[in-house]
Amino acid sequence: MSKTRSQRSQSIPGSASVKDDNILCCVCDAVVQIEPSDLYDELVKYASKSKNMKFYCDNCVKHADGFKGLLQMLNEKFESIDSSLKTFDSIDIGMKNLQLRLESSGENLKQLEKLDEKLSQSINFLKNDITKFWSDVVKSNSKIVDNEAATLRNMISTSFFDVVKKDLDVVSKEVISVRRTIEVANEVKARENNIVLFNFSEDLDVAKDRGNVLGFLRSLTDESLKDEDILKIFRQGKKPSVSSPPRPVIVMFINLSAKVLVMRRLFRLALLDEKMRERCGRAMENSEISKACYQTGLNLGLLNIRFIRSKYDIIHDLLSNDLDICVLTETWHGSSDDISVKLAMPYGFSFMDYLRPHDPNHGEIIVYFKNVFKVKK
C-alpha cells in the first residue's frame, strides 16, 4: 500500500531535494508535485540515498539551455515511440484480422472438404448407376446386335460373291480371248516354216511314205537338206481308200532358212529322174502348167497377206503392176462384203473368196483375177 506524505517525509533522511512532503527544485526551491504511487516510494528511497540526484521544476527545465536540446530530443523520441506504438497497434489489428480470416478460411476449407466428399460420393453413385444401366442395355440389345451383324455379314458375303463371280466371268472370257489370240499367233508363226505338197503319190506305209517325201526334198536340194532341218512330215486328213486321191503333205521345217532352200529349188522339178517324177504325179503337171503360163506371158501371184484390212493398199499396187491372177491366203476378212476386199481390187478385176464356216475371222482365201478370165466357183 502507498504511504501518506507525512509518513514518507519521516522515512526519508534529510536531503536538499526533499523537504517535508514535497520535493524541491534545486534551482528555485519550487515544490515539485508528484502524485503518490509505488513509483513515488521508489523515487524517494533512491533520492534519499543519492547525493547527486537533483530535481528541476518544469519552469527551470524550459529556461535552462542545457536541457532544451535534451528535451527536444526526448520529445522526438517520444513521438517516434508513439508512432511505432501506433504502427504496432495497426500491425496487431492486421494480425488479428488475418487470424480471423485464417479461422474463416479454415472453416471454408472444412466446408469444401465436406462438399468434396459429397461430390465424390455422388460421382461414385453415378458411375455405379451408369455401369448398371449400360450392362442392362447391352444385355437387352446383344441379341439384336448379333442378328444385325449376322444379316450384315450375309449381305456383304452375298454382294462380294456376286461381284467376284461377275469379275471372274469377265476375266475368264478375257483370258480365253487372249489365249485364243496367242494360239492363233503361234499357229500363224509356226505356219511360216511350212509347205504343202499336193498330188504327191501316197504310200499306205507311213514310214515309207515319209521317206519318199524326204527323198524328194533332198533330190530337189541336191542333198543340201538334212534330217534335222525337218521337224515333221505328215498327211492331212483321214487315211484314203485305194481309189481316193493322195492327201496333201505338210512339211514342217525347223526354221525359215530350210523352207527358203526348198522354195528356191522348185525350178529343178523338171530335172528330176523318171522315178521321182512319177512320185510327184500331178505336181509335175502343175509344173508344166506353170511353164506354159510362163511361155504364154501369164503373170501369177501368191501371197500370205495376214489380215487384208491393214494391207489393202499394198495389194492394190501389186495387182496394178500387170498381175493377171493373184491368190491371197490368211486374209482374215470375215465376209465377202468387207470394204477392204473391194479397196484392194483395181478397176478391171474381179475376185472369189472362201471363208471358214466355223471360224470366219481366221484363215480365208481371196483370188483376184482380171475380168478377161471366165471363172466357175
Q: Tell me the per-residue pLDDT of 341-370, one tens digit each, with 9 for 90 and over.
A: 988 999 889 999 988 877 777 778 999 999
Q: Which of 22-36, 159-173, 246-260, 297-311 has the highest mean pLDDT?
A: 246-260
Contact 352, 328 (CB under 8 A): no
What one-character-per-residue DSSP string does 237-278 give?
SSPP-TTSPPPPEEEEESSHHHHHHHHTTGGGGGGS-HHHHH
The residues that bridge with 343 in the sheet, in sequence order, are none
CATH class held by domain 192-296? alpha beta
What pTM did the predictor assign? 0.34
The set of cell numbers assigned to 247 is 492327201
**Residue 230: which H helix or E strand, with range?**
strand 230-235
Q: Tell me the per-residue pLDDT of 190-245, one tens digit each, with 9 for 90 and over.
A: 777 888 787 788 888 888 888 888 888 888 888 888 888 898 898 877 776 666 77
Contact 277, 215 (CB under 8 A): no
Residue 97 phi, psi (nearest 5): -60, -40
Residue 110 phi, psi (nearest 5): -60, -40
Contact 73, 37 (CB under 8 A): no
Residues 314 and 317: their CA atoms lie apart, in Å, by: 5
Residues 270 and 267: their CA atoms lie apart, in Å, by: 7
Domains of the chain: which residue ranges? 5-63, 192-296, 299-377
Per-residue confidence (pLDDT) for residue 283, from 0 to 100: 46
More confidently predicted of 156 and 276? 156
